[in-house]
């Protein structure tokens, strides 16, 4: 059985990639994908710990996360569609209406 | 006995009846005058009946006193109660007060009835019927106030009446407020009466204060009981009381030096002159001294002073009366002079003689004034008749132009009225004989009693009063001759008409009273003396001294004779026939020259007062008004100090405090917020990743804190 550190290392790597993706990329869909990546890294950590401690709480939590993520994707993609309809672009640097 | 006792409790009604009358006329009089064709008579009779009922009550009280001569104090209500001080509104019913009530209500009622006729002319001339109501309301108010004055049992309530009659006097002198010199002469006369009376009232007030300080009460009975003890302990206090009271008396009873208001008071309607300024109000001072006899009798100094003031006034005013041409002014100075007799009498302790003269004088002087009023209106009627008549005859009209502004009170415009106003003549003659002190007439007995007492008690006063009696006979004869005898000296006098019965009947009643009034206190019978003894205790009864009577009668006859010599109709007609430029205005001027000038000008007393008191006072008032009040208080203190200081303080508050501190704080906060906001808005880039980065960093920091804490 692989030690927990491997799982957590992968989780951190995935989370970091996701974070950097959110911060650096401009394509809204890519950013969305990055967010999904961050969620899934967290899911990986949950599952890993769940397995280590032999309790099912973590696994149950993952299902919750996936359900919420699915809902989020639904809402998010709908947002992106209507942004695209309005702006003909999904480059988030073009969407800076909240600038002070 | 028990029934007569019952009457004492009626005492307050002597005040209530006139008050009811005046309230009724005040509220309904205007309506009655408007609605009823006989409105004048109704209003006048209501007032007269109110006064008459007051007289009835006074008579009932008098009847009760016959069986219960010590009288009673009738308490009506509690008035002032402060701590131990408890002043009641109480009526003192004794022989002295009831005598005054009888005079006030009796003479007052007759004058009210007379006024119904007299004031009708006033309404006719002014075409304003509401004046009728005003007149009778004031008259009833006067009766009520006079009753309060004479019936009170303490000095404070007496003072209420004292001021009340002063007010009525003021109101009625100024009744024709739009007439007189420059249209305000009568108002000025009213004001003068008020102000001069105020000087007297100040004396009376001080006297009351000292009385209260010394005796601790205002009530007559207890004051008079304590008076001997206080006199023994602090003689100066009683001197002060009596002297200050004398000042009050000189104001109200028109004695030297405050008599000057009374002649001017003749500006009022003649019934007012008769009621207030001859018969009743002016005798209030005499009443006051008589009432305070118990105090005065302890202070010989004040007694002498009062006697001297009275006697000098009697002579002084008589000398002025000689040189007057106005029919009412002669009577006014005569009143001052006769009041001098009374004051002198009560001053020297001859209270009964003084009161006796007060009663007879009230009757015959009211009579003289009222018949003078009748003469004046008769002449006015003649004047109107002549005017009306001459309108049909142009040439006559031109000849009579000078009569347009005829003075109906100037005796030089009269003459021969005897044949035209017969009743008025006979009643006036009765009053004149009473005034000159011709035997059998009322004035003889009372004046003689005063003179008899004076010879015994105070020789100086006796001489002064005798001379005054001589002059009295002289001036009243002059008046009778000028007014009634000879030929008419003006068209108005020629057409003078007798007054209506409503005026002549009261005159006839008064005339009979002044003819037979002497029976009140005939020598050796002393009805009046015994009557008043119940109030004053045992008093010295004035003995009838035949020599004094002879001398005074002789003086009166000499006065009449001298007057006849100078003013007899034939002589005066010859004198009058000379053109006015070539003769003096009066035959007497030829004989005594400058003295007549002095008499005619009233010894320049008004001018003297103007020079030494009125003008300096006005100057002082002007100085105070212009310099002290206006320049100092207004311009400097108010404008500079108060307003300037306030403005400077307000400036300081506005500019320094409000703008500098409060506004600056508020604005500064706003500016600060704006600046902070301006710098903070730069953070808001609108780029999603910036927000994401901040959230990320925030998470890192929070987690870092949670981990490393």
State the pLDDT confidence band at B381, using cuts at 50, 70 and 90: confident
B316's CB contacts (< 8 A; 6+ apart) are B256, B337, B340, B603
Q: Which of A19, A23, A99 sits opposite B686 (nearest CB)?
A: A99
Q: Domains, chain A, ranges and CATH?
A: 4-90 (1.10.287.3510)
Q: For the residues B680-693, what does the mean pLDDT come to? A: 84
pLDDT recorded at residue B404: 53
Mind telling me how many Å the CA of B689 is from chain A's nearest CA?
Answer: 5
Tell whether the model's pLDDT for residue B96 goes beyond 70.
Answer: yes
Tell me: pLDDT of B2 over 70.
no
Please state, in angstroms and rounded to a whole number, the distance separating the CA atoms of residues A49 and A46.
5
CA dihedral B5, B7, B9, B10 (to 10 degrees): -170
pLDDT tens digit string along B250-279? 999 989 888 889 988 888 899 999 998 888
Percent of chain A with pLDDT over 70: 99
Determine contact, residues B200/B258, Cβ cutoff 8 Å. Answer: yes
Best of B678, B685, B688 to mutate (most A CBs within 10 Å, chain A):
B688
- Whole-number average pLDDT of chain B: 87
Q: What are phi and psi of B370, to 5 degrees?
A: -65, -40
Classify residue B30 as exposed, middle or buried by CB count within 10 Å of its CB (0-12, 13-18, 19+): middle
Find the residue in A nearest to B682 (Cα): A100
pLDDT on residue B588: 80
Look at residue A63 in the predicted model and tell me its pLDDT: 94
- CA B559 to CA B599: how far, in whole Å? 17
- Report the predicted TM-score, pTM, of the whole model to 2 decimal places: 0.77
A62-80 confidence digits (pLDDT tens) = 999 999 999 999 999 999 9
**pLDDT the model gives residue B390:** 67
For B687, the closest chain A residue by CA position comes to: A96
Instruction: Give A-chain residues touching B696 at CB under 8 angstroms.
Output: 19, 23
- As a three-state string, the secondary structure of B448-489 is HHHHHHHHHHCHHHHHHHHHHHHHHHHHHHHHHHHHHCCCCC
For B693, nearest residue in chain A (alpha carbons): A23
With 70 as the cut, is the pLDDT of residue B706 above it?
yes
Q: Quick check: B389 pLDDT over 80?
A: no
Asked if the bond preceding B538 is cis, omega within 30° of 0, the reply is no
**Does residue A14 contact residue A22 with C-beta atoms inside 8 Å?**
no
ipTM over 0.90: no
Task: Say how many CB pairs under 8 Å bridge A and B.
Answer: 32
The number of helices, as runs of H, and strands, as runs of E, in chain B is 32, 2
């Amino acid at each position: 059985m692989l030690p927990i550190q491997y799982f957590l290392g992968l989780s951190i790597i995935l989370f970091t990639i996701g974070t950097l993706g959110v911060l650096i990329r401009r394509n809204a869909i890519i950013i969305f994908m990055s967010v999904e990546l961050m969620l899934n890294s967290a899911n990986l950590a949950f599952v890993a710990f769940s397995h280590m401690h032999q309790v099912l709480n973590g696994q149950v939590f993952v299902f919750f996360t996936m359900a919420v993520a699915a809902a989020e994707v639904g809402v998010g993609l709908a947002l992106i569609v209507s942004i695209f309809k309005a702006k003909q672009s999904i480059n988030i640097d073009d969407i800076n209406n909240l600038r002070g | 006995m028990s029934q007569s006792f019952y009457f004492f409790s009626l005492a307050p009604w002597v005040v209530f009846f006139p008050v009811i009358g005046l309230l009724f006329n005040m509220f309904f009089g205007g309506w009655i005058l408007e609605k009823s064709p006989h409105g004048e008579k109704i209003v006048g009779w209501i007032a007269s009946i109110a006064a008459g009922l007051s007289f009835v009550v006074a008579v009932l009280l008098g009847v009760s006193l016959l069986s219960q001569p010590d009288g009673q104090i009738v308490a009506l209500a509690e008035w002032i109660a402060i701590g131990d001080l408890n002043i009641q509104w109480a009526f003192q019913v004794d022989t002295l007060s009831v005598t005054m009530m009888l005079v006030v209500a009796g003479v007052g009622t007759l004058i009210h009835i007379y006024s119904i006729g007299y004031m009708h002319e006033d309404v006719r001339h002014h075409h304003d019927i509401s004046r009728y109501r005003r007149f009778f309301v004031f008259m009833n108010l006067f009766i009520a106030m006079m009753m309060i004055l004479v019936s009170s049992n303490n000095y404070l309530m007496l003072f209420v009446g004292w001021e009340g009659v002063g007010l009525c006097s003021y109101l009625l002198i100024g009744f024709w407020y739009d007439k007189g010199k420059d249209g305000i002469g009568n108002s000025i006369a009213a004001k003068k009466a008020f102000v001069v009376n105020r000087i007297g009232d100040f004396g009376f007030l001080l006297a009351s204060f000292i009385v209260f300080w010394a005796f601790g009460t205002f009530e007559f009975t207890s004051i008079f009981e304590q008076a001997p003890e206080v006199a023994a302990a602090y003689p100066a206090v009683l001197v002060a009381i009596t002297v200050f009271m004398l000042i009050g008396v000189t104001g109200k009873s028109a004695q030297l030096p405050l008599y000057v208001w009374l002649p001017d008071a003749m500006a009022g309607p003649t019934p007012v002159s008769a009621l207030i300024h001859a018969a009743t109000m002016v005798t209030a001072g005499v009443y006051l001294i008589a009432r305070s006899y118990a105090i005065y009798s302890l202070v010989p100094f004040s007694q002498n002073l009062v006697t001297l003031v009275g006697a000098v006034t009697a002579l002084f005013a008589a000398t002025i009366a000689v040189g007057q041409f106005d029919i009412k002014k002669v009577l006014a100075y005569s009143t001052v002079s006769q009041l001098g007799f009374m004051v002198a009498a009560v001053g020297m302790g001859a209270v009964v003689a003084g009161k006796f003269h007060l009663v007879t004088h009230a009757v015959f002087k009211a009579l003289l004034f009222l018949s003078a009023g009748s003469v004046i209106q008769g002449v006015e009627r003649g004047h109107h008749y002549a005017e009306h008549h001459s309108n049909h005859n142009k040439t006559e009209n031109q000849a009579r132009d000078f009569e347009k502004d005829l003075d109906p009170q100037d005796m030089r415009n009269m003459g021969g009225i005897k044949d035209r106003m017969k009743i008025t003549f006979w009643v006036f003659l009765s009053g004149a004989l009473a005034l000159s002190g011709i035997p059998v007439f009322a004035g003889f007995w009372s004046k003689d009693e005063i003179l008899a007492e004076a010879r015994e008690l105070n020789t100086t006063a006796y001489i002064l009063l005798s001379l005054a009696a001589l002059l009295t006979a002289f001036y009243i004869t002059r008046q009778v001759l000028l007014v009634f005898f000879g030929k008419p000296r003006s068209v108005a006098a020629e057409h003078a008409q007798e007054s209506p019965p409503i005026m002549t009947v009261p005159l006839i009643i008064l005339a009979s009273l002044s003819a037979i009034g002497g029976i009140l206190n005939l020598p050796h019978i002393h009805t009046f003396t015994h009557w008043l003894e119940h109030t004053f205790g045992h008093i010295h009864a004035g003995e009838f001294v035949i020599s004094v009577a002879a001398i005074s009668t002789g003086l009166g006859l000499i006065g009449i004779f001298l007057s006849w010599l100078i003013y007899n109709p034939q002589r005066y007609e010859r004198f009058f026939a000379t053109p006015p430029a070539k003769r003096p205005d009066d035959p007497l001027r030829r004989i005594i020259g400058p003295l007549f000038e002095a008499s005619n000008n009233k010894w320049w007393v008004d001018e003297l007062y103007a020079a030494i008191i009125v003008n300096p006072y006005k100057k002082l008032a002007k100085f105070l008004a212009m310099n002290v009040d206006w320049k100092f208080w207004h311009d400097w203190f108010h404008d500079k100090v108060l307003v300037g200081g306030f403005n400077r303080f307000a400036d300081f508050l506005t500019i320094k405090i409000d703008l500098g501190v409060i506004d600056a704080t508020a604005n500064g906060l706003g500016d600060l917020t704006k600046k902070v906001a301006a710098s903070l808005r730069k953070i808001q880039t609108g780029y999603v990743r910036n927000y994401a980065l901040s959230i990320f960093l925030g998470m890192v920091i929070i987690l870092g804190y949670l981990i490393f804490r």
